[in-house]
Amino acid sequence: MTDRVQTIRTSYANMIQNGDLDPGDVLPSLGELAQDHGVAMPTMELAFLHLKEDGLIVFEDGRPVVAETHTQIPSLPAPISLAFNLLEMFDCEGHIKMRVQCLTAETLISMLELIIRGIRASGGKRPKSLDLQLLLPASDDKLDIPYYVDDRDDEEARERLRMLIKRAPKLLDDLAILKEDGLVPELKTEIRTVSGTPGSKFYYLEWSDEEQRMIGSKVLYGKYQREAVLRDGRKVVDTFGWKARLFSYSGRDPFAKEELASYLSIWENETTR
């Protein structure tokens, strides 16, 4: 799949999930859409073929129609999915809210570092406020992974995890500089910890305009990959966030609401500040 096909596919999937397109909406013909997007007809046909396979679009009398029922857009690799959605969210000049639970925040940190550099360098769109809650494991010595299959006592695998976990507080420092420099006027960030090893990664993203009217909300959810063979041939049981695939749900989807409620309950009742 070409980048242009994937971009169109994801763009329309997001519009459907966010409620910008409602079930039963009839879209322009593929020829008109191709002209509007400045792409060749086969590119648009392929993008909408994927949307049809995803269960988001049906065709009636040759025209694309938003399907009556849908749950999530197709899964994408975590860095791609998160980057796409963060860029969409930070395109607003209003208010941003993020609720995140993961193992190390490695993917989130990498994506936000790029966005932070862009805000500082371009002088482009900047949110009026940013509210981030990050939920991480209490400490690596309480986790049941990572470990080498042939030698569970080898500390090398755990050392990698310790280094990654220590990066998370630096993210808050980098965001604080944006406020100090007047680039993001209102900033609220907090990290809390909870016992146990997360088997999945969870991102709740919400963005509103300057008058606090919600523009969009999204839940990204995916399971960590658990096993891998390293370059040196050793097999390790770990959580590989970069290799995880994220499914995207509208914030109004019942699954998304349930996952957010679970997250908020853990945040309020089971965490250590």
Q: Pick the more confident residue, 143 or 273.
A: 273
pLDDT value, residue 61: 81
CA 226/CA 169 separation, integer angstroms: 25
Verify that 94 and 205 share a domain, yes or no: yes
Percent of the chain residues past pLDDT 90, beyond the cut: 27
Asked whether residue 24 falls in the same domain as residue 140, the answer is no
The angle formed by the CA atoms of residues 88, 193 and 105, to the nearest 5 degrees, is 35
Question: Do 240 and 224 meet the contact criterion of CB atoms below 8 Å apart?
Answer: yes
CA distances (Å), 38 to each of 4, 13, 15, 41, in order?
Answer: 11, 19, 19, 9
Same domain, 107 and 241: yes
The stretch 127-147 carries a mean pLDDT of 84
The average confidence (pLDDT) of the chain is: 85
Identify the domain boundary among 70, 95, 114.
70
**Strand, helix or coil for residue 203:** strand
One-letter amino acid at 172 equals: L
For the chain, how many structural domains are there in total?
2
38 lies in the same domain as 131: no
pLDDT, position 117: 86
176 in the same domain as 59: no
| Residue of 240 and 147 predicted with greater confidence | 147
Give yes or no: residues 87 and 215 share one domain: yes
What pLDDT was estimated at residue 264? 96
Could you tell me if 117 and 196 lie in one domain? yes
Per-residue pLDDT tens over the stretch 26-36 = 999 999 999 99
Task: Write the CATH number for 44.
Answer: 1.10.10.10
Copy the structure tokens of residue 71.
């749950």
Span 145-166, average pLDDT: 80
Among 14, 38, 70, identify where a domain stops: 70
Q: Quick one: 7 and 99 in the same domain?
A: no
pLDDT-derived band at 202, boundaries 50, 70, 90:
very high
Which pLDDT score, from 0 to 100, does residue 262 have? 94
Using one digit for the tens of pLDDT, what is the confidence trace for 233-270? 888 887 777 777 888 888 888 888 899 999 999 999 99
Q: Which of 26, 51, 70 is the last residue of a domain?
A: 70
pLDDT at 188: 97
Question: Domain limits at 107?
Answer: 75-269
